[in-house]
Amino acid sequence: MTRPSASTGPDAVEEADLVRAARRGEDAAFAQLVARYRPDLRLHCYRMLGSLEESEDMAQETLLRAWQAIGQYEARASMRTWLHRIATNACLDLLARQQRRRRLLMAAPADDTDVPAPVAVSWLQPYPDSLLDEAADTAAEPAAAAVTRETIELALIAALQFLPEAQRAALILRDVLGWPAAECAQLLGLSVPAVNSALQRARTTLRGRLGTDRGQWRRNTNVTAQEATLLNRYMRAIEAADDQALATLLAPTARVSHQPGAGGHYGTEPTWYAGRATILERWAPALHGTHSIRMRMLATRANRQPAAATYIHIPGEPAYRAFSLSVVTIHQGLLTDLAQFGPELFPAFRLPDSLPLHASPPPINGS
């Protein structure tokens, strides 16, 4: 993972004035002081927690704690570092209250390759690229401006959730934020050797879950034209119920995973299946069933990956209704993973909750 370089950030004099005003209890000054850090804090919490909803809650909790502690801030560390320290502690406190998560993960099954499906974590949610762009635009340090797939791709976020909390925090602080080992040790209440040991164990676990070849994560920040074209072909094939076209797009070992609520009929835990033939067989009732269900799709982007929103029309209904959101992984020109989530995420992606029956297809969202 790339490490951002240290920087005091822009507008240092103005920030110092805002700090002084905030310490005097001026809430407007505090709001102005922390506004540009909020998108970055939300993203940090997302890496720690894997949930878009919880990342928003913990970003808010971070700012509340920071307001309560601003009188103790002495600028020995940058404002960004200070806020990330608070955010990390807020996430660790939440995880400590949610030991149920660890029990669920310990019992989570693996597929035939012993690598869990991308959404083998029941609370995992995708992260809209529009919010990633906000984090890049407001990054306090130039090297943090590019939110690369290497640090945000959905499979990586899922894998992070399998790490013990201290290992997860050490890896994110050291490998993503570029903190020195001593600073990380101070936050976690560990020795420097203990932090280095936790980091090495975390890296080993990630290699085991993601594969030793991490090259596929070191790609361009944005969705490429080739990937956008492939996603468009996939969407058109689904809309046309074209099995032959779908077969040419799916990798032989492609996997489909469903989060709880994806498609409206899955249980409380993620499910998945693998193999081109199996996928086509599983999808056949929806694509070719006797109920005349039609589908329309819109493109969007999540976790710096292509994504597609599916809408379905059931006979007698006045419009297409939101059905599922799929985050797509593409490797060597084929679809290798499709992680499907429920329509409750559509508002976060600025997607409509329905599409008219006879209107022209809307423009591609997020292009």
Q: What is the pLDDT of residues 190-227, one digit of tens each?
A: 999 999 999 999 999 998 888 765 544 445 567 889 99
Q: Does domain 225-356 sit in CATH 3.10.450.50? A: yes
Residue 1 has pLDDT above 60, yes or no: no
- Cα separation, 251 vs 284, whole angstroms: 18
Buried b (16+ CB within 10 A) or exposed e, 125-158: bbbbbebbbbbbeebbbeebebbbbbbbbbbbbb
Confidence of residue 7 (pLDDT cuts 50, 70, 90): very low
324 CB-near residues (< 8 Å, 6+ apart): 262, 263, 264, 309, 310, 340, 341, 342, 343
Residue 321 has pLDDT above 80, yes or no: yes
- Give the closest residue to 303 by CA, choosing from 262, 261, 345, 271: 345
Radius of gyration of the CA atoms of the chain, in A? 22
Q: What is the mean pLDDT of the chain?
A: 85
pLDDT for 118 equals 63
CA 273 to chain CA centroid, nearest Å? 22
Architecture of domain 12-217: Up-down Bundle (1.20)
- Indicate if the alpha-carbon torsion angle 215, 219, 224, 228 is positive or negative: positive
- Give the closest residue to 363 by CA, choosing from 274, 297, 317, 283: 297
Least confidently predicted of 35-39, 233-237, 252-256, 289-293: 289-293
Residue 311: Cβ within 10 Å count: 23
Cβ atoms of 307 and 326 within 8 Å: the answer is yes
Cβ atoms of 67 and 76 within 8 Å: the answer is no
- Cα separation, 95 vs 345, whole angstroms: 23
Per-domain residue ranges of the chain: 12-217, 225-356
Position 124, amino acid: L
Position 188, amino acid: L
Cβ atoms of 290 and 310 within 8 Å: the answer is no
Q: Look at residue 334 and give its three-state secondary structure.
A: strand
Instruction: Kindly report the pTM of this predicted structure.
Output: 0.88
Confidence of residue 85 (pLDDT cuts 50, 70, 90): very high
